[in-house]
Amino acid sequence: MSMITERSVAGRAPGVPEEAADAAVPETRRDVVTLFRAYLALCKPQIVELLLVTTVPAMMVAAGGWPDLRTLAVVLIGGAMAGGAASALNCYIDRDIDQVMRRTKRRPLPANTVTPRSVLVFGLTLAVISVALMAVFTNWLATALTAGAIFYYDVVYTLWLKRRTPANTFWGGICGSAPVIIGWAAVTGTVAPLGWALFAVVFFWQMPHFYALAIKYKDDYARAGVPMLPVVRSVGRVNFEILLYTVLTVASSLVAWPLGLGWIYGVAAVLTGAAFLAEAVLLARRTSAGQPAKPMRLFHWSITYLTILFIAVAVDALI
């Protein structure tokens, strides 16, 4: 008897044919893979990735180069877990509206891939571990900011603001910007003016970024009863806020320049800021004229803008 056949026979239950036992193995593996993908999706890895893109450069500037590797590893792991925890708990809280939105109905909870209780336990467990990591290996300020960001996102934003006011994106931007100052605080134990300037960049950036997404999925949000700005305000008001916060984003990036960054960052801030503003103006012109809006152009460019800008922050810190 071959080794493979011996393992198959040894692993099957009494009375189960060898062929059936062998067929069950791939099915079990598929179940494990499905669950893994479901829990990964609950963490919204794209959002976590974007948060870490802003955190590491902020840490580098705070350290004047590469930060202590242990601190860097702890903040990356703890930050990823904190972001995953906040996202999983957000999915648990929003499971009712996710069922009626086309953009979200394939998420693990609406698709019944996992149970609400398991998602709640998963999210709370990640939250506790992430805060514990920060508490043991960083300092009280970074730990408090991490815990506060999770609480703010899930309780203040998701449970309260998101369903009650069109200003939800503005106030929700606080927790989305927190990773910048968390990383800075983990390195220095405080937050310098440059850290707050970079925080402001990410804070103001979130309005044009998410308003563009809300324009695309306006009907989805309306169906779910979520008062996103494009759902409850005129096209003119939405365009005004997109342009206003794009200008404030670029202005904040320029304010950060003389606070401790060099010419590489400055050139990147000017060029990418001009392109970001041009995309915002183009979207406003299209929607004002009743033309097809194509808001995802601004959405995707906003991600490119933030990524290039913070790469420039990191390069500047090294040089």
Q: pTM value? A: 0.87
Rg (CA), the chain: 23
**Whether residues 167 and 220 fall in one domain:** no
Q: What whole-number distance in Å separates Cα of residue 182 and Cα of residue 186?
A: 6
Q: Which domain holds residue 96?
A: 40-189
Q: Judge if 185 and 61 occupy the same domain.
A: yes
Residues in contact with 198: Cβ distance below 8 Å, sequence separation at least 6, in sequence order: 54, 58, 61, 180, 184, 256, 313
Which of residues 128, 155, 189 is at a domain's end? Answer: 189
Q: What pLDDT sits at residue 1?
A: 34
Query: Which has the closest alpha carbon to 101: 217, 227, 214, 210?
Result: 217
Does 23 reside within a domain? no
The pLDDT score that the predictor gives to residue 50 is 80
User: Are residues 269 and 146 part of one domain?
Assistant: no
CA distance 70 to 75: 9
311: Cα within 13 Å, side-chain hemisphere: 9
Tell me whether residue 124 is in a domain. Answer: yes
| Shared domain check, 161 and 46 | yes
Predicted pLDDT at 83: 93
Which domain-ending residue is among 134, 169, 189? 189
In a domain, 279, yes or no: yes
3-state secondary structure 285-319: HHHHCCCCCCHHHHHHHHHHHHHHHHHHHHHHHHC
- Please provide residue 70's backbone torsions phi and psi, each rounded to the nearest 5 degrees: -65, -45
For the chain, the first-to-last Cα distance in angstroms comes to 65
Q: Tell me what pLDDT residue 290 has.
A: 80
The answer to whether residue 35 sits within a structural domain is: no
CATH of the domain at 185: 1.10.357.140
| Structure-block tokens of residue 228 | 């996103």
Per-residue pLDDT, 52:
81
* Residue 29: per-residue pLDDT: 62
**Does 152 fall in a domain?**
yes
Same domain, 169 and 55: yes
Task: Select from 210, 292, 293, 194 the least CA-distant residue to 246.
Answer: 210
Question: Which CATH number is 316's domain given?
Answer: 1.20.120.1780
Residues 158 and 215 in one domain: no
184 and 204 in one domain? no
Question: What Cα–Cα distance (Å) separates residue 114 from each residue in 45, 138, 211?
Answer: 18, 34, 30
- Asked whether residue 31 is domain-assigned, the answer is no
Question: Do 138 and 100 have their domain in common?
Answer: yes
Domain count, the chain: 2
Same-domain pairing of 217 and 310: yes
Any idea of the CA torsion for 116, 121, 122, 124, to the nearest 10 degrees?
A: 120
- Residue 140's contacts (CB-CB under 8 Å, 6 or more residues apart) are none
Helix intervals (H) in 217-234: 218-224, 229-232
CA distance 302 to 300: 5
CA 267, 272, 278, 280 dihedral sign is negative
Q: Are both 68 and 184 inside the same structural domain?
A: yes
Structural domain includes residue 287: yes
- Does 111 lie in the same domain as 52? yes
pLDDT in tens, the chain (319 residues): 333 333 333 344 444 444 443 444 455 665 888 888 999 999 988 887 887 889 999 999 999 999 999 999 999 999 999 999 999 999 999 999 999 998 888 899 999 899 999 999 999 999 999 999 999 999 999 999 999 999 999 999 999 999 999 999 999 999 999 999 999 999 999 999 999 999 999 999 999 999 999 999 999 999 999 999 999 999 999 999 999 999 999 999 999 999 999 999 999 999 999 999 999 999 999 988 887 778 999 999 999 999 999 999 999 999 8
Q: Please check whether residue 85 is in contact with residue 42, taking contact to mean a CB–CB distance below 8 angstroms.
A: no
> Among residues 136, 168, 189, which one ends one of the domains?
189
Q: Which two tokens stand for residue 249?
A: 């984003």
In this structure, the number of other CB atoms found within 10 A of the CB of residue 10 comes to: 8
pLDDT at 45: 87
Establish if 20 belongs to a structural domain: no
* Residue recorded with tokens 């800075």: 184
